[in-house]
Amino acid sequence: MFDSEYLAAMEMILASGVARLPERFRAAQGDYLLGLQRSDGGFPGPAGGAADLYYTRFALQGLQVLDAAGAEGVWQRAADYLRGLPSPSGVVDALSFLHAAAIVKSCGDVAEAEILTEARAGEIRALLSDCRAADGGFAATADVAARSGEGGTYHTFLAALCYNLLGEAMPEERRAVELVLARRTADGGFAESAEARVGQTNPTAAAVGLLTLAGALDEGVAEGVGRFVASMQSADGGLRAHAGAATSDLLSTFTGLYTVAMLDVVRSVRLADLGRFVRSLSASGGGFRGAPAATQTDVEYTFYGLATLGLLALAVN
């Protein structure tokens, strides 16, 4: 069974690092996130407008690791938003809902969050069952699972986290582990699909997370993953999503750094260069952009920026 404290443990690690960042910087990020909460309690995506469940999860996660001043009323408003949502339509929505409810439970109203989770648990279990593909992995939606018969490395890990948040073992866990192990590539990373022959940063992070939680991480994986992640570091200091990517991005930079940090091979990447890349994506008034060419900040990349700087603070101190 997967470790029931996986996400909570991750957030404790990130919060301990974020707490070492300058107070003025942390305050600016907290103000940025707090200022984006909508009247219904959710948070919007990059384009603004109405609240979106996917982005609401990241905004709440950012406020949690910041332990932001003034966030006391955020959790009840977020609970109100979650209560009014329709049934999740795929694995990403299911995880976003369960994780947001878990954050509300951790930071705000425990009873309210438990009611929210219990009310949706049955339908989320049914959704996950429908999203399991014929190969034992999980696809993004039930339609994709039925059409392709193939689970993705990333969505299989997300499904594992959903079961984790429900406090349950993943059904047929060994099949999912075998699927992921079969996707280890010669470059030391892991691929998203069975056909791919080269590693990708985010599927590698997902694979390592799932294998670690399942107690199925091979002794030789850490060295290979460290080598692979190091090969993804570009001249700008950030990490690329894959070898063919023209530029680095903040998502890959966070997932890659978190993975090597958890494998205790964090020095496989150039930490100072990586830090400069992340700081270059920070806006003066708070918030982070996702890549050098991006012009818009948003709550998802603000979480990734905070989390990455927090990990760096732990690594160098």
Q: Which of 65-69, 200-204, 241-245 has the weakest average pLDDT? A: 65-69
Q: Which residues pair with 45 in a beta bridge?
A: 48
pTM value surpassing 0.85:
yes
Query: Which tops the pLDDT comparison, 53 or 70?
Result: 53
Query: What are the pLDDT digits (tens) for 244-255?
Result: 999 999 999 999
Burial 250-282 (b: 16+ CB within 10 A, else e): bbbbbbbbbbbbbbebbebbebeebbebbeebb
Q: Which helix (H) or strand (E) holds 7?
A: helix 6-18
Which residues, including other chains, have CB under 8 Å from residue 119's CB and lie 6 or more apart? none
Q: Are 117 and 79 in contact (CB under 8 A)?
A: no
Which residue reads 């603004």 in tokens? 48
Q: What's the pLDDT score for residue 2?
A: 38
State the average pLDDT over residues 255-267. Answer: 96
Among candidates 277, 272, 276, which has minimal Cα distance to 252? Answer: 277
Identify the three-state secondary structure at position 242.
strand
Pick the CATH number of 6-316 from 1.50.10.20, 2.40.70.10, 3.40.640.10, 3.50.50.60: 1.50.10.20
Domain limits, the chain:
6-316
Residue 3: is its pLDDT beyond 70? no
